[in-house]
Amino acid sequence: MSALARDQLARNPKMALVVRIFEINETIKKMPRNKSDLRKLFSKGMAVEFHARYNGNAHAIPHLNQWLNKQESKHQLAIDSFLKFSKRSWEPQFVSLNSIPFHDENFPFSLRDNTVLRWEMCRQNYTFALVNDLFMAHRKIKTALDIPRAKKQQRRSLEQFNFAMKLFQHRMDQFYPETKKICPKFGA
């Protein structure tokens, strides 16, 4: 990944190299090390795209089956495709330069506190490039059973979130008016 990042980010400092993320059933002893392993788990329902059973396709990246079945390169990572930031709930995991915007700490935990960085990157007109053959995975598949606890936390933080959104929207419209129509409308 470091060679790809050095090359691509030197050419385009406003690029985020996106890595797919998966959740693996807790009963699986050996985590997948390549797409072939991941594909096997996926076909058995033992691996899912990040939060697929918790939040539908909010974090889905297009063409998953194509990506899973594409021949794996043993030698070199490459950019698979460029992704449009079109869903406000999308929280891609990525590699970038450290010149990305700072994290907006006004946003409370569990209410767009991770998404806000990606929103700002969209408003700053970053390019989101999907890396082929590379993925992350963690154990435990989050499901709809986890929603009530999250909703309770969100209700407690709603006032802080609304204040943070107001400040954020104002700042984005002030500094990046040219991308207002390019990026999705932000919100809870």
* CA neighbor of 98 nearest in space, from 3, 172, 16: 16
- DSSP letter string over 102-115? PP-TTSPTTSSTTH
Counted domains in the chain: 1
Counting residues of the chain whose pLDDT is more than 70, the rounded percentage is: 99
Rg (CA), the chain: 18
Q: What is the enclosing helix (H) or strand (E) of 132? A: strand 127-139
User: Has residue 66 been placed in a domain?
Assistant: yes
Beta pairing class for 93-95 and 47-49: unpaired
Q: Helix, strand, or coil here: 178?
A: helix
User: Has residue 46 been placed in a domain?
Assistant: yes
For 135, the domain range is 2-179
pLDDT tens by residue, 136-176: 999 999 888 887 888 888 888 889 999 999 999 999 999 99
Q: Helix, strand, or coil here: 71?
A: coil
pLDDT tens by residue, 104-126: 888 888 778 778 899 999 999 99
pTM of the complete model? 0.89
- pLDDT of the residue at 75: 79
